[in-house]
């Protein structure tokens, strides 16, 4: 890489034309070789593929995911390359083609078109964009449940005060989620969607109880009742379970790629269906708006931003795409089922997430009978290296394992509880 850079800069100094793709090729080739070696045998990633401390038992992917070592290495190379000539790599336009390649592979990952993909910073940014940019006004209503994340709720509460639309929040009962059914959820949406409802926001899996909502059926119900816009918060599912935007028939997706996609912090993925491009106003505007009028790129902040992160996002997508889908699904479901069995056998815990895998995922909670969650969390981290999320207000701990976690880790955790 160092030789390549020197040769490239010498060529640049002589005034010769050269494509930056020749500079990216060493990073791409090294990454692809490692990726092929990793997944050639059809194996799942292991803890050794990440930089986690050997003493850590990491069960908190629902808060912050772990970045594979080979993705970290590519990120460092892009950062180093950028700093070798900051102006050139940020503003000469030489990274436009590689970033469009990231956009294309992200679109394929979601079964979308590339001009429906943008790269925001996180989920909250997308929901601020919707709260400010959708054609919402007096007489219109935004609808979501009590399980909606604050980042997808507060923007509507705040901006509706000035824009004049209303926000309606309905309750999904959380005391008996273990027995909830798909019909129960649909009945709640049926009862709360009105002729005023213009936007429905759905958390695919919420971050507090781990309920996976039947998105396709909710979207169909909303459309049948005249709802114009349907948005899906996939912060807890993109990278955990497959998402097909065409099959789900939704308008907008916001996600946080630092969780299950295992990308660097500060860059993410959003999907905007073509049918709403002309209806949604950008949250900010810059020099390229006319050029991007038919593309979701107009919803990005394309001032100065960390382009090496965007390039690295492509490697994170590659990593996830190369994990065998059926092996991944089986492993995550087996961890979920094992934890459910442990919880039911443990006198000090109560399973509080759905008992149906189709309404759940690799993010679930158990109620503690014998300890305050935050106290237990601190103690088990200090003494045993366990990382999970406590919720004192519900007397629960949230466990969100990924494919490299083991049943033995869950056994130890429940024994300690």
pLDDT digits (tens, 9 = 90+) for 316-328: 999 999 999 999 9
User: Among 95-99, 140-144, 182-186, 193-197, which is the least confidently predicted range?
Assistant: 95-99
Average pLDDT over residues 28-33: 85
pLDDT computed for residue 24 by the predictor? 58
By the 8 A CB rule, do 273 and 245 touch? yes
Q: Within 13 Å of residue 408, how many CA atoms lie on the same side as its CB?
A: 2
By the 8 A CB rule, do 261 and 320 touch? yes
Q: Report the percentage of the chain scoring pLDDT > 70.
A: 94
pLDDT computed for residue 89 by the predictor? 87
Which residues on adjacent β-strands are paired with residue 202?
232
pLDDT computed for residue 39 by the predictor? 81
User: Among 15-29, 49-63, 146-160, which is the least confidently predicted range?
Assistant: 15-29
Does residue 2 register a pLDDT over 80? no
Average pLDDT over residues 52-59: 97
pLDDT computed for residue 12 by the predictor? 39
Does residue 18 register a pLDDT over 50? no
By the 8 A CB rule, do 265 and 218 touch? no
What is the DSSP pairing of strand 396-399 with strand 389-391?
antiparallel
Average pLDDT over residues 29-34: 86
Average pLDDT over residues 225-251: 97
Which residues on adjacent β-strands are paired with residue 170?
145
By the 8 A CB rule, do 177 and 352 touch? yes
User: Can you give the pTM of this predicted structure?
Assistant: 0.92
State the Cα–Cα distance between residues 173 and 44, nearest whole angstrom.
Answer: 36
By the 8 A CB rule, do 118 and 267 touch? no
Does residue 264 register a pLDDT over 80? yes
Burial of 39 (0-12, 13-18, 19+ CB in 10 A): middle
Does residue 105 register a pLDDT over 70? yes
Nearest Cα residue to 254 out of 241, 271, 239, 267:
271
Using 50, 70 and 90 to split pLDDT, how confident is the model at 339?
A: very high
Find the angle CA(245)-CA(246)-CA(250) to the nearest 5 degrees: 60
pLDDT tens-digit map of 166-221 = 999 999 999 999 999 999 999 999 999 999 999 999 999 999 999 999 999 999 99
Find the angle CA(68)-CA(238)-CA(210) to the nearest 5 degrees: 105
What is the CATH topology of the domain spanning 114-321? 3.40.640
pLDDT computed for residue 30 by the predictor? 85
State the Cα–Cα distance between residues 16 and 8, nearest whole angstrom.
Answer: 10
Average pLDDT over residues 291-304: 86
Does residue 20 register a pLDDT over 70? no
By the 8 A CB rule, do 321 and 390 touch? no
Q: In which residue ranges of the chain is CATH 3.40.640.10 found?
A: 114-321
End-to-end CA distance of the chain: 50
Rg of the chain over all Cα atoms, to the nearest angstrom: 23
pLDDT computed for residue 15 by the predictor? 42
Q: In which residue ranges of the chain is CATH 3.90.1150.10 found?
A: 325-416
State the Cα–Cα distance between residues 75 and 72, nearest whole angstrom.
Answer: 5
CB within 8 Å of 367: residues ≥ 6 apart: 349, 350, 351, 352, 394, 395, 396
Does residue 246 register a pLDDT over 70? yes
Does residue 22 register a pLDDT over 60? no
Q: Which CATH architecture describes the domain 325-416?
A: Alpha-Beta Complex (3.90)
State the Cα–Cα distance between residues 102 and 308, nearest whole angstrom.
Answer: 12
Three-state SS annotation for the chain: CHHHHHHHHHHHHCCCCCCCHHHHHHHHHHHHHHHHHHHCCCCCCCHHHECCCCCCEECECCCCCCCEHHHHHHHHHHHHHHHHCHHHHHHCCCCHHHHHHHHHHHHHHHCCCHHHEECCCCHHHHHHHHHHHCCCCCCCEEEEECCCCHHHCHHHHHHHHHHCCEEEEECCCCCCHHHCCHHHHHHHHHHHCCCCEEEEEEECECCCCCCECCHHHHHHHHHHCCCCEEEEECCCCECCECCCHHHHCCCEEECCCCCCCCCCCCCCCEEECHHHCCCCCCCCCCCCCCCCCCCHHHHCCCCCCCHHHHHHHHHHHHHHHCCCHHHHHHHHHHHHHHHHHHHHHCCCEEECCCCCHHHCCCCEEEEECCCCHHHHHHHHHHHHCEECEEEHHHCEEEEECCCCCCHHHHHHHHHHC
Burial of 105 (0-12, 13-18, 19+ CB in 10 A): middle
CB within 8 Å of 204: residues ≥ 6 apart: 212, 213, 215, 232, 233, 234, 236, 237, 243
Does residue 23 register a pLDDT over 60? no
pLDDT computed for residue 32 by the predictor? 85
Using 50, 70 and 90 to split pLDDT, how confident is the model at 25?
A: low
Average pLDDT over residues 138-152: 97
Average pLDDT over residues 77-89: 92
Average pLDDT over residues 343-352: 97
Mean pLDDT of the chain: 92
């Amino acid at each position: 890489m160092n030789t390549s850079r020197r040769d490239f800069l010498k060529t640049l100094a002589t005034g010769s034309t050269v494509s930056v793709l020749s500079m990216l090729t060493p990073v791409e080739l090294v990454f692809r070789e490692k990726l092929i070696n990793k997944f050639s045998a059809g194996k799942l990633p292991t803890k050794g593929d990440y930089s986690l401390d050997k003493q850590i038992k990491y069960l908190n992917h629902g808060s912050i995911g772990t970045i594979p070592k080979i993705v970290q290495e590519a990120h460092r190379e892009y950062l180093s390359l950028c700093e070798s000539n900051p102006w050139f790599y940020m503003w000469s336009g030489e990274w436009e083609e590689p970033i469009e390649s990231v956009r294309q592979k992200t679109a394929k990952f979601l079964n979308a078109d590339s001009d429906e993909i943008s790269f925001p910073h996180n989920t909250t940014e997308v929901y601020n964009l919707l709260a400010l940019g959708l054609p919402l006004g007096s007489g219109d209503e935004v609808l979501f449940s009590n399980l909606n994340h604050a980042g997808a709720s507060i923007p509507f509460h705040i901006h509706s005060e000035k824009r004049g639309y209303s926000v309606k929040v309905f309750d999904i009962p959380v005391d008996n989620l273990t027995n909830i059914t798909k019909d129960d959820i649909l009945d709640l949406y049926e009862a709360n969607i009105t002729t005023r409802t213009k936007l429905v926001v759905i958390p695919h899996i919420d971050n507090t109880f781990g309920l996976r909502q039947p998105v396709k059926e909710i979207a169909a119900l909303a459309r049948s009742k005249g709802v114009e816009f349907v948005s899906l918060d996939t912060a807890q599912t993109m990278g955990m379970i497959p998402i097909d935007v065409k099959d789900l028939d939704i308008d907008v997706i916001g996600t946080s790629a630092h969780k299950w996609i295992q990308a660097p912090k500060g860059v993410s993925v959003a999907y905007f269906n073509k049918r709403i491009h002309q209806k949604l106003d950008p949250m900010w505007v810059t020099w390229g708006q006319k050029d991007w009028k038919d593309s979701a790129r107009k919803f990005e902040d394309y001032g100065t931003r960390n382009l090496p992160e965007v390039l690295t996002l492509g490697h994170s997508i590659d990593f996830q795409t190369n994990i065998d889908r059926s092996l991944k699904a089986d492993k995550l479901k087996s961890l979920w089922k094992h934890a459910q069995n442990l919880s039911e056998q443990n006198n000090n815990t109560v399973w509080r997430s759905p008992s149906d895998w189709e309404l759940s995922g690799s993010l679930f909670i158990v109620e503690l009978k014998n300890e305050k969650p935050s106290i237990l969390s601190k103690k088990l981290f200090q003494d045993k290296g366990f990382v999970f999320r406590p919720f004192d207000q519900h007397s629960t701990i949230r466990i969100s394992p990924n494919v490299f976690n083991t049943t033995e880790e869950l056994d130890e955790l429940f024994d300690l509880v």
